[in-house]
Amino acid sequence: MKKCVKCSQKAVVHLPHHRLALCKEHYVEWFENRVEKTIRSFRMFSEEDRVLVAVSGGKDSLGVWHALWKLGYIADGLHINLGIGDYSELSERKTRAFAERIGRELHVISLREHIADIPTLKDLQDRPACSVCGTLKRYYMNHTAKKLGYSVVITGHNLDDECAVLMGNVLSWNLDYMARQYPVLEEGKGFVRKVKPLCLITEKESALYAFLSNIDFVEDECPYALGASSIDYKLVMASIEEKSPGTKLRFYSEFIRKVRPMLVAKQDVKLNACRVCGEPTTGDVCSVCRLKMKLQAQKVS
């Protein structure tokens, strides 16, 4: 039987890549310290910032909100209802219940009211659901945070998510996207700051924290997640990690430390304010306004 390295009680968690065995209480403490350390070492935000957590209802976003609450940060939540049938209804319900549990304010917006639900937009576009969904989530997170006066948006992306994105970008050598992959996306040019305090925490660690903290999160995957290439990349990374613990952490953190600084120096993206809504875009009209125009044209014809 393994013993907790802190108190010698029976360990419930073994983290081979950190050479750690911990009991429940010390695991929760380790997790929250790691979140705090990540916030500080990347200078994600300070006491003066008004902070908004983008909460989907899943383990990562509710987990990061819970950890911030335990650490004493005042952070409100933003839930975007995507209109994906029962999955979205359950996600909103669980997010509302969680906000009530920790006594923090939750803003809820519905894509159906702002533009249209994901199933409708998926049919309209010749793109996978996740691609249009990602665009809309980024747009409304930024737009809502600015409108409500928040200076920082927190997302629950974990180390496995970051590794999957990095692997996808490496496989196609997408240097522009690689240059933008960082735990902090600075404010400016119409964007509020976006930060990822779970970027050094694996999906398993995050799930365990949610479980040990009695967080009632949505366990079902979104119906559109099936077939997304990020799932294949995660499986590949998981099998390498199994044989060689610590690979994920090394892959991501060494990229951040050694490779990204070289790429950033070469980056030069010009942004304009969208002619219709004023949000930042590389073109003349942003992709969300173009989607709205397409929907309008479809209704007329």
> What residues make contact with ligand SF4 under the rule CB under 6 A?
82, 118, 129-130, 133-134, 222, 224-225
11 is in the binding site of which of Zn ion, ligand SF4, none (Cβ under 5 to 8 A by kind)? none
Least distance (Å) between residue 99 CB and ligand SF4: 19
Residues in the chain: 301
Of 142, 122, 134, nearest to 185 (Cα)? 142
What is the torsion angle, in degrees rounded to the nearest 10, for the CA atoms of residue 89, residue 91, residue 94 and residue 97?
-80
Q: Which of 102, 277, 292, 295 binds Zn ion (CB under 5 A)?
A: 277
Task: Check residue 193 for interaction with Zn ion (CB under 5 A).
Answer: no
Q: Which strands, in side-by-side order, build the sheet including 184-185? A: 106-110, 75-81, 51-54, 152-154, 193-195, 184-185
Task: Check residue 68 for interaction with Zn ion (CB under 5 A).
Answer: no
Is residue 207 within 8 A of residue 64, CB to CB? The reply is no
Interface with Zn ion in residues 279-298 (CB under 5 A): 279, 286, 289
Least distance (Å) between residue 186 CB and ligand SF4: 24
23 is in the binding site of which of Zn ion, ligand SF4, none (Cβ under 5 to 8 A by kind)? Zn ion
Q: Rounded CA gap, 189 and 116, in Å?
A: 27
Task: Check residue 23 for interaction with Zn ion (CB under 5 A).
Answer: yes
Q: Rounded CA gap, 123 and 291, in Å?
A: 12
Q: Which of 20, 228, 276, 295 binds Zn ion (CB under 5 A)?
A: 276
Task: Check residue 26 for interaction with Zn ion (CB under 5 A).
Answer: yes
Task: Check residue 28 for interaction with Zn ion (CB under 5 A).
Answer: no
Contacts of 82 (CB under 8 A, 6+ apart): 88, 91, 111, 117, 118, 133
State CA 214 to chain mean position distance. 21
Least distance (Å) between residue 82 CB and ligand SF4: 6
Q: Which stretch binds Zn ion (CB under 5 A): 26-34, 74-82, 124-132, 195-203?
A: 26-34
Least distance (Å) between residue 231 CB and ligand SF4: 9
Q: Rounded CA gap, 97 and 102, in Å?
A: 9
Q: Rounded CA gap, 50 and 146, in Å?
A: 11
Q: Which of 6, 18, 50, 114 binds Zn ion (CB under 5 A)?
A: 6
Identity of the residue, 23 or 64, whose beta carbon is nearer to Zn ion in the bound complex: 23
Q: Which stretch binds Zn ion (CB under 5 A): 3-11, 113-121, 135-143, 224-232?
A: 3-11
Identity of the residue, 182 or 224, whose beta carbon is nearer to ligand SF4 in the bound complex: 224
Residue 144 CA: distances (Å) to CA of 85, 151, 280: 23, 11, 14
Task: For the chain, count helices (H), then strands (E).
Answer: 13, 10
Identity of the residue, 6 or 96, whose beta carbon is nearer to Zn ion in the bound complex: 6
Total of chain residues touching Zn ion, rule CB under 5 A: 12
Q: Rounded CA gap, 157 and 215, in Å?
A: 17
Binding site for Zn ion (CB under 5 A): 4, 6-7, 9, 23, 26, 274, 276-277, 279, 286, 289
